[in-house]
Homo-oligomer: A and B are copies of this chain.
Amino acid sequence: VSVLYKRVALIGLGLIAGSMSHAMRRAGLAKEVVGTARSAATRAEAREIGLCDRIVETAAEAVQGADLVVIATPVGVMGAVAAQIAPHLAPGATLTDVGSVKRRVIDEIAPHVPPGVHFVPGHPLAGTEHSGPNSGFAELFENRWCLLIADERTDAAALSRLSRLWQGMGARTEVMDADHHDLVLAVTSHTPHLIAYTMVGVADDLGRVTDSEVIKYSAAGFRDFTRIAASDPTMWRDVFLTNREATLEILGRFTEELFALQRAIRTGDGDHLFDYFTRTRAIRRGIIEAGQDTAAPDFGRGAARKETGT
Interface residues of A (CB under 8 A from B): 125-130, 135, 137, 139, 142, 144-145, 147, 180, 183-185, 187-206, 208-209, 211-231, 233-234, 236-238, 240-241, 244, 247-248, 250-251, 253-255, 257-258, 261-262, 265-266, 268, 270, 273-274, 276-288, 290-305, 307-308, 310
- Nearest residue (CB) in B for A298 is B128
Residues of B within 8 A of A308 (CB): 294-296, 300, 303
- Nearest residue (CB) in B for A216 is B290
State whether B310 touches A291 (Cβ < 8 A): yes
A254 to B305, CA, bound (A): 32
How far apart are A269's CB and chain B's nearest CB, in angstroms? 9
A211 to B290, CA, bound (A): 12
A201 to B281, CA, bound (A): 10
State whether B202 touches A253 (Cβ < 8 A): yes
Contact A145/B217 with A187-B203, A273-B237 known, Cβ cut-off 8 Å: yes
A217 to B291, CA, bound (A): 11
State whether B300 touches A250 (Cβ < 8 A): no
State whether A237 touches B307 (Cβ < 8 A): no
How far apart are A243's CB and chain B's nearest CB, in angstroms? 9
State whether B286 touches A211 (Cβ < 8 A): yes
State whether B223 touches A292 (Cβ < 8 A): yes
- Nearest residue (CB) in B for A196 is B221
Residues of B within 8 A of A190 (CB): 221
State whether A301 touches B304 (Cβ < 8 A): yes
Interface centre among A217, A241, A274, A276 (most CB of B within 10 A): A217
State whether A307 touches B301 (Cβ < 8 A): no
A194's partner among B144, B255, B261, B266 (CB-CB below 8 A) is B261
A201's partner among B229, B240, B279 (CB-CB below 8 A) is B279
A281 to B212, CA, bound (A): 14
State whether B208 touches A139 (Cβ < 8 A): no
A225 to B228, CA, bound (A): 10
Residues of B within 8 A of A268 (CB): 241, 244
- 9 pairs of residues in contact across A and B, judged by CB atoms under 8 Å: A183-B208, A187-B206, A205-B253, A205-B257, A211-B283, A223-B293, A226-B293, A229-B284, A296-B307
State whether B220 touches A128 (Cβ < 8 A): yes
Residues of B within 8 A of A209 (CB): 183-184, 187
Residues of B within 8 A of A213 (CB): 184
A127 to B218, CA, bound (A): 12
Residues of B within 8 A of A206 (CB): 187, 250, 253
Contact A218/B310 with A241-B265, A300-B304 known, Cβ cut-off 8 Å: no
The 5 closest A-B pairs by CB, nearest first: A300-B304, A128-B297, A230-B284, A233-B277, A192-B221
State whether B234 touches A248 (Cβ < 8 A): no
